[in-house]
Amino acid sequence: MTLAVAKSPSLLSAVLPSSGVAAKVGAVVLGSLLLAASAKVQVPFWPVPMTMQTFVVLVLGMAYGSRLAVASVLTYLAQGLAGLPVFAGAMAGPAYMMGPTAGYLVGFAVAAGMIGLLAERGWDRSPLKAFAAMSAGHALIFVFGVAWLSTLMGLEKAVAVGVTPFIAATVLKSALGMAVMVAAWSALRRRSA
């Protein structure tokens, strides 16, 4: 493994060590597009659909680091606020962003930042730490989601419809995210050796 790969704070900085502003803007736009695409991969639930967004949010956090991951999520949210069809539902704009999924959307940005900070400290390179970070990121998204949802339907029902149906998928997405990150770092180390 080369010294540059070993000292890189994020996977993206290891792949593009001297990236300029244009590359970073491109990465942020790509991240927002991946979030939009992952919103469309869904299993219909009410009031919160099950999508691959949490997986993408957390992998972006680990791969991009905190700043670029948060920028990607905020860009995605701005696209939705502007009315672009990026969300899981058919709607977009301010009304959608104040609906049942509002807390989860806010949680995306917070979780991306937290996961990015953990990744910058090497948590994305160890299977156990990566899984723990992914699980913590999911939990953080649930906290924000349920906090908002409980204002609409009470805490007990918010947990019943906003967390419980998603637990198995969350564990699976955390494991998949961990596997993706550990495999990506392993491949990068082999390529750099």
* CATH number of the CATH domain containing 93: 1.10.1760.20
Sequential pLDDT tens for the chain (193 residues): 444 555 678 888 888 877 789 989 999 999 999 999 999 988 776 666 678 999 999 999 999 999 999 999 999 999 999 999 998 877 788 888 888 889 999 999 999 999 999 999 999 999 999 999 999 999 999 999 999 999 999 999 999 999 998 898 899 999 999 999 999 999 988 887 6
Instruction: Please tell me the pTM assigned to this model.
Output: 0.90
Q: Residue 10 domain-assigned?
A: no
Q: Residue 159 domain-assigned?
A: yes
Q: Residue 13 domain-assigned?
A: no
* Whole-number pLDDT of residue 49: 67
- 50 within 8 A of 43, measured Cβ to Cβ: yes
Q: Residue 7 domain-assigned?
A: no
* Whole-number pLDDT of residue 24: 92
How far is residue 133 from each of residues 55, 88, 130, measured CA to CA in Å?
12, 25, 5
Full residue range of the structural domain in which residue 79 is found: 28-183
* Whole-number pLDDT of residue 47: 64
Q: Residue 11 domain-assigned?
A: no
Place of tokens 């609409």: 152
Q: Residue 107 domain-assigned?
A: yes
How far is residue 156 from each of residues 36, 107, 160, measured CA to CA in Å?
30, 19, 6
How far is residue 189 from each of residues 1, 31, 60, 120, 173, measured CA to CA in Å?
5, 23, 20, 17, 24
Q: Residue 85 domain-assigned?
A: yes
CA distance 94 to 16: 36
DSSP state of 52: S
Give the number of domains in the chain. 1
Q: Residue 129 domain-assigned?
A: yes
* Whole-number pLDDT of residue 1: 44
* Whole-number pLDDT of residue 152: 94
- 41 within 8 A of 92, measured Cβ to Cβ: no
